[in-house]
Structure 1
Amino acid sequence: MNTILKSSLAVAMFASTAAATPAIAGALDEVTVATVRYSDLDLSTQSGQRQLHARLRNAAQYVCGMDIRTPGSLIPSREARACYSENLRNLERRIATLVEAERRNV
């Protein structure tokens, strides 16, 4: 495993909300990226895993635009929620791989 993967995860996803908004349809080529560092965490412990999960949730919320609200609504768009859910599932698989590798190295 390369050193970058051992110390951080890059969370990148297309701004799926752009597809639903004609005014920014040209933004489909834009990618929002958040880097989640975890070299300071011990992934062989529950505490370290919880901290990584929290960091990843925050990063997924950021890249999916969960803080962007449609005028007149207090909840994120359907696209933002779908982006968040899908990408969190993908990240969960990556975390499981990292945790297993960490346990083998302990």
Structure 2
Amino acid sequence: MKTPIIMIAMLSLSAPALAGGDMPVKTSTEVAYQDLNLATAQGQKKLSDRIDIAARRVCKLDNSITGTRIRDRDAERCYVAAKERANQQFAAVVEQHAKGG
């Protein structure tokens, strides 16, 4: 039996981390869906919302940068990539659920 989670992961390649000689930091989180009925549009919407919230959190998309309203480009790229990977997992999970898995 597969674990009912979707992984949201990002690889932080921020300049300060690289300048300090540190390795890039990998951050991830799990999005649970065992409580959702993925056979319904409502269940799929809830999972999509959870994925969006997790991707924003992992990529720090909503963090403010002092002195500007402009979003961090690295955070935006991370968010887009994380959502793409998670949505691929989401599609596979919904398909498997539709087949009775």
Structure 2 equivalent of residue 76 of structure 1 = 71
What TM-score results when the alignment is normalised by the length of structure 1?
Answer: 0.82
* TM-aligned CA deviation for residue 27 of structure 1: 4.7
2:31 alignment partner, SS class: strand
Higher relative contact order (CA 8 A, sep 6+): 2
Instruction: Indicate the structure with greater helix content.
Output: 1
| Distance apart, 1:86 and its partner CA | 1.7
Are 2:12 and 2:25, in contact at CA under 8 Å, matched by a contact in 1?
A: yes
Q: Which runs of 5+ in 1 are unaligned?
A: none
Count the aligned residue pairs.
Answer: 99
Is the CA contact 2:8–2:85 (under 8 Å) kept in the aligned structure 1?
no
Instruction: Indicate the percent of aligned positions where both proteins have the same amino acid.
Output: 29
Normalising by structure 2, we get a TM-score of 0.85
Q: CA RMSD in A?
A: 1.8
Where in structure 2 are the equivalents of 1:57-76 lying within 5 Å? 57-76=52-71
Segments of structure 2 that go 5 or more residues without pairing to the other structure are none
**How far apart are the structure 2 equivalents of 1:10 and 1:43?**
17
Query: Amino acid of the residue matched to residue 97 of structure 1?
Result: A
1:19-61, CA deviations, whole angstroms, 9 ceiling, x for partnerless residues? xx33x22454321111110000011110010000000001100
